[in-house]
Structure 1
Amino acid sequence: MPKPSKHVFVCTQSRPPGHPRGSCGQQGSTAVFQTFMQQFDQGQLYGQFALTGSGCLGTCDFGPTVLVYPEGVMYTKVKPEDVPVIIEQHLKGGEPVESLLAPAAVWS
């Protein structure tokens, strides 16, 4: 298996309805993850990039969240239609998608 240049983590955490923190799963992260999988399959991106569904990334109020390493770039409120932009602009082009970046406060 070739070493991927970037690794994408999509929070797929689901909590019970009414949980005070909510969850990315309740906010549509499954559709975001599935869109990444479809785009990776269609573009034959596995091997160049890695994709993993993850547990909680800690930013439940801003979900669905996507984290890209090695840069440590976090995207918030990601929708399925944002996935192609993240792939083209960030994964392939090396430029984070400014409009989807997590607020600086999530890192403090």
Structure 2
Amino acid sequence: MKPKHHVFVCMNRRPEGHPRGSCQASGSQGTFEAFNTELEKRGMYEQVFVTGTFCMGPCDRGPVAVVYPEGVWYGNVKPEDVSEIFDKHFVDGGEPVERLRIM
């Protein structure tokens, strides 16, 4: 089964006070859980996969999520943003949520 969208959510944790910060310190656990909760709520298991990852680079913009195959990078993604990503990017025409887009 090949999903239409695959979301990678950075779950990287660095030591407290690390100069690059980390997505985990920015709340990525809650963001990851929100993606999975929304996926379950909508029953979109065949269309969307959600995977936790290690560092993807833009740590100062975390929590970071990347959507493939489009290659859309989202930054500062909070749990309350996830339903909007589903609504606009995954369901309603495939348009990225521009206010969260970092690449």
TM-score for both structures, normalised by structure 2: 0.95
**Shift in Å at residue 61 of structure 1?**
0.7
Q: Distance in 2 between matches of 1:48 and 1:19?
A: 37
Q: Deviations over 1:14-56 (max 9, x none)?
A: 1110111110000000000000111111111111111100111
Aligned twin of 1:85: 84
Q: Distance in 1 between matches of 2:22 and 2:88?
A: 27
Aligned twin of 1:29: 28
Q: Distance in 1 between matches of 2:50 and 2:40?
A: 11
Calculate the aligned-residue CA RMSD, in Å.
0.9
Identity level (%): 50
**Shift in Å at residue 92 of structure 1?**
1.5
Aligned twin of 1:60: 59
TM-score for both structures, normalised by structure 1: 0.91
What 5-or-longer segments of structure 1 have no aligned partner?
A: none
What 5-or-longer segments of structure 2 have no aligned partner?
A: none
Which structure features the higher share of helix residues? 1
Q: Distance in 1 between matches of 2:10 and 2:72?
A: 14
1:75 aligns with 2:70: no
Q: How many residues align structurally? A: 102
